[in-house]
Structure formats: C-alpha cells, structure tokens
Amino acid sequence: MERGELIAGRYELVKRLGRGGMGDVWAGRDRTLHRDVAIKLLVLDGAAHEDLPRRFEREAVAAAQINHPNVVALHDRGVHEDLLFLVMERVAGATLTEYIRSDGPMAPSHALAIAEEICAALIAAHQAGVVHYDIKPHNVMLTPGRQVKVVDFGIAGFLQTAFTLAGSSQLTPAGTPEYGARAGV
C-alpha cells in the first residue's frame, strides 16, 4: 500500500506510522466524514482461510462495544483486496514507551494516575466482554494533555486465531510474553 491509496473507496492513506510482522498502521483521512483516522491493515500471508473474515468481524464488533474515554474508538472494519482493515480514532501524542524514552522516569504520582486510567480502560473492556491480550507500554498512548488511550483491544486474540488457522499445530498464547500474566505464558 502506498500514500494516497484509498481503502474501501473511503479511507485515504496519508502517512505510514508503523510496520509490524502482520501489517501496517497508517495515519489516514475518512473522506466521507472528513476526519482524521488511524488505519490498521492486516496482511495474513498464508492464512487464506474462508473463516478468517467472519472471525475478524466478530472481534471487531466486540472491540467496538467498548465506549470509554481511555479506549481508542473503533470506527469501521472490513476487507479490502487481500487485506483486513480497522479504522480507529486517531490519537495525537506518543506511546507510553516513547514518552518514557524521551522524558525518563516519571513521578510516582504521575505513574499511578496513568495506571488508574489503564485499569479503568480494562474494566470497561471486561464489562463489554472483551479481553485485551496484549497490554504493554507500546499499546498505551498518552495525549498531549496526558490522557491515557489504550489501543489494540481484541485484535491480539484475532491474530492468535489467524496463526492457528494458517496451519500451526500448536495454540500459541496471544500477546507479548514479556507483559503476559505468569499463568498464561
């Protein structure tokens, strides 16, 4: 995918923000509603299984049920060519990882305030029946006003399913092992 391309005839790719093993995250523009968005494109090479779009849809619908100020809102999802895509609220700011790297250690009171907002986001998710699977500093955004926004709800569980359906004979734990609960790793 390249800058300027349209996803689903509506979402313009403006700037690649990140690249991972499964796909890219782009800053984008919703040409219908005239708003800035983030677009996650998931490339599932070798996972050409007819059930994947349905499973992806179920995970996206579950994640969209979370309505909380500390959770990045999911606006849309779909299939475009051979890609699955998510369209989310675009958050100005930096990840918690980036913030700590640039500013160094934070005051305990500030760390506690961030932890409280992360917990509030996770409580809202659990009340909606959604498990994050991959909570880590890279999946926590801090706005310029220092509001916490947790990203990537429910998607790690979908990715685990995609790898399993692609032919893996073992069920791999979802998420990042270094940040997982001891019982799950």
Q: How far apart are CA 116 and CA 150, in angstroms?
A: 12
CA atoms in the 13 A half-sphere facing the CB of 19 = 4
Of 24, 36, 76, 134, catalytic:
134
Q: What is the chain's alpha carbon radius of gyration, rounded to the nearest angstrom?
A: 17
At 51 the three-state DSSP class reads coil
* Cβ-contact 42, 21 below 8 angstroms: no
Residues 6+ apart with CB under 8 A from 102: 94
Residue list for the binding site for ATP:
40
How far is CA 102 from its chain centroid?
23
* Cβ-contact 161, 174 below 8 angstroms: no
| 134 in catalytic set | yes
**Dihedral angle computed from the Cα positions of residues 126, 65, 36 and 156, in that order, rounded to the nearest 10 degrees:** 50
Give the number of other Cβ atoms within 10 Å of residue 95's Cβ: 19
Q: Known catalytic residues?
A: 134
